[in-house]
Amino acid sequence: MNKQLILLRHAKAAHPKQPMRDYDRPLKSFGFEQAEAIADWMEQAGVEPDVVLCSAAKRTLQTIEPWRARHPNTVVKELESLYGATTGEILSLADAESEASIIVVVGHNPGIEFCLYYLAEHDAKQQRHNQRVRPGDLAWLQRHPDEQSWQPGKAELLRRYSALR
């Protein structure tokens, strides 16, 4: 099976003046605009995920909400374990979705960025000059057909998109 993985860092989050847990931080107004732009881009690019694995943090859920509203039949799994997840944890969750061809992971840095460079370091450096994964950025990867799981350097970076303008 030709597996694809889209790594999406949540859109720009607010820094409220009142004390709150980082987990509960919402998107700022620009972040909501980014979330809409991400949904637009995914539709235009023809993304049809079999499953979306989304951190249960408020800002990640708000990031994927425009997509969910437009595609209510998409399976979205809200996972507390994606908050602060490491590369290994992210890829373990993706590998567990053995029936899915296209998986979207909506998470946080540094996990999303580390995961991208772990899987496709050479391609990532070539396409974006080793640029960081900023809020609202995504990377679309394809696993080499001879691999049964996500392995270091064994994925091709198909496209990158940044909702930051």
* pLDDT for the residue 1: 62
The single-letter DSSP state of residue 17 is S
* pLDDT for the residue 129: 43
The residue assigned the tokens 């979207």 is 104
Strand order in the sheet with 137-143: 75-79, 51-55, 102-107, 4-9, 137-143, 155-162
Partners of 129 in the β-ladder = none
Q: Map out the domains of the chain as residue ranges.
A: 4-12+24-162
- How many angstroms separate the first and last alpha carbons of the chain? 35
Local confidence pLDDT in tens for the 165 residues of the chain: 679 999 999 999 998 888 888 899 999 999 999 999 999 999 999 999 999 999 999 999 999 999 999 999 999 999 999 999 999 999 999 999 999 999 999 999 999 999 998 998 766 555 554 568 999 999 999 998 888 999 998 899 999 999 876
* pLDDT for the residue 126: 56
The single-letter DSSP state of residue 82 is G
Domain 4-12+24-162 indexed as CATH 3.20.20.10:
no
Neighbours of 122 (CB within 10 A): 11
d(CA 39, CA 104): 12
| Entry pTM | 0.93
* pLDDT for the residue 130: 53
Residue 118 phi/psi, 5-degree rounding, is -65, -45
